[in-house]
Amino acid sequence: MCIGLPMRVVGGDAYFAECDRRGASERVSLMLVGPQPPGTALLVHLGSAVRVLDDDEARLIDDALDGVAAAAEGLPFDHLFADLIDREPQLPDFLRPKTASGA
């Protein structure tokens, strides 16, 4: 399984950023997202930023990753999936069947 991790830009140039994740630094390619200012949250996969994240989405991804780690250790994890508790699963729009009207 491949997982992208949220990281925060701390500096860099037009092509690479120095990013931080929980105290660990990594040089990240910006070729897919363009130059980003310090403080920007990025979804990083295999040394490349693949998407710019807003702060809420970065937090949700971090919570989900922490939740998976907690579950694997047999620790409580429900609080890390608060956005999913008491909500029915939903297909993304592009996977939903089209209606007769085409919408």
The confidence score (pLDDT) of residue 53 equals: 97
96 within a domain of the structure (yes/no):
no
Q: Which residues contact 89 (CB under 8 A, 6 or more apart)?
A: none
Q: With a cut of 60, say whether residue 57 has pLDDT above it.
A: yes
What number is the average pLDDT over the span 70-97? 88
The per-residue pLDDT for 102 is 57
Q: In the block, which residue shows the tokens 């950023």? A: 17
Q: How far apart are CA 50 and CA 38, in angstroms?
A: 17
Residue 99 lies in a domain: no
**What is the pLDDT of the chain when averaged over all its residues?**
92
**pLDDT for 36-51, tens place per residue?**
999 999 999 999 999 9
- Cα–Cα nearest to 10, from 30, 40, 50: 40
Query: Quick check: 60 pLDDT over 70?
Result: yes
Query: Is residue 12 domain-resident?
Result: yes
Residue 89: inside a domain, yes or no?
no
In a domain, 93, yes or no: no
Domain region containing 64: 5-81
User: Could you tell me the CA-to-CA distances from 15 to 56, 81, 101 in Å, in that order?
Assistant: 25, 35, 45
